[in-house]
Amino acid sequence: MTGGKHSSDPPPFARHILSLADTKRILGIRYSDWLLGAPSIETGIAASAMAQDEWGHARLLYSMLKDFGFDPFEVEHERPAARYYSAPALDEPLEDWAGVVAAVAVVDRALEVALESLSSGSFELAQSRIPKMLAEEEFHRSFGDAWFRRLSDAGGEGRKRLESHVGAMLPSTLAWLAPEDGAYAELVSEGLVRSAAEVRDRFDQGFAHLAGAIDIEAAAVEPDRSGWDEMRRRGPGAPAEEAVERARGDRNRALFVE
């Protein structure tokens, strides 16, 4: 993607896979930030485990791009931030633990729904590789749900912060999860993914019990499609450069051993 045939934008299905892989890669970075800053040693260990899951899932998704003529190493380690397809809710660091919990509940759950959609389609690599990812995602969901209820039930500043983070993340994440554009419609028509309406409905059903705990009606939240970039499958902006440098492994490039 940095020269020759890779200098052009990938085809729609490759972009879809990139959007999942990039979101998982950046989400892993965001989780890793909380290895030491979590409320307890146990939650820090959980954050580390979830980060490793996300990085492993991202690598498996990047490897699928071989079918489209792309070098997974190049895709992982040589793109600038402006070429990332990740969900906008992760562009900046998660500023507190309530933000981490919101990211698990909203962005991680959206990823799970998107993976289910991909695995239900006709792409054989997705059918064979994604079920294991979904099995590992069950821990993320149970961990996030438990912390979500803990903060919402406790009230006070923790609940206020949780409400604020969820309210900020939902609109852009819903737009990312269920695009209403021609490229995504093409994937649906080819039997590669579920329709945007079905994906959104599955998310709403899974998130409703948490949203209700902080007085949000999930199904009533409107996706934020302002500035939508169909080629990057997201709204304007890009992940913070510092996060992308870490995702690419810039500081350790000299240590790569193949």
pLDDT band at 251 (very low <50, low <70, confident <90, very high): confident
Statement: residue 5 has pLDDT above 80: no
Statement: residue 147 has pLDDT above 70: yes
Location of structure tokens 């931030």: 81
What's the pLDDT at 7? 42
- CA distances (Å), 226 to each of 13, 18, 140, 229, in order? 23, 21, 30, 9
Q: What percent of the chain has pLDDT over 70?
A: 95
| Average pLDDT along the chain | 93
Threshold 0.85, pTM exceeds? yes
Give the Cα separation of 17 and 247 in Å (integer): 17
What's the pLDDT at 10? 87
Domains of the chain (ranges, CATH numbers):
4-249 (1.20.1260.10)
Give the Cα separation of 109 and 38 in Å (integer): 20
Phi, psi of 229 (to 5 degrees): -110, 105
Statement: residue 247 has pLDDT above 80: yes
Location of structure tokens 């209820």: 149
pLDDT band at 9 (very low <50, low <70, confident <90, very high): confident
Using an 8 Å Cβ cutoff, are 140 and 113 in contact? no
Statement: residue 25 has pLDDT above 90: yes
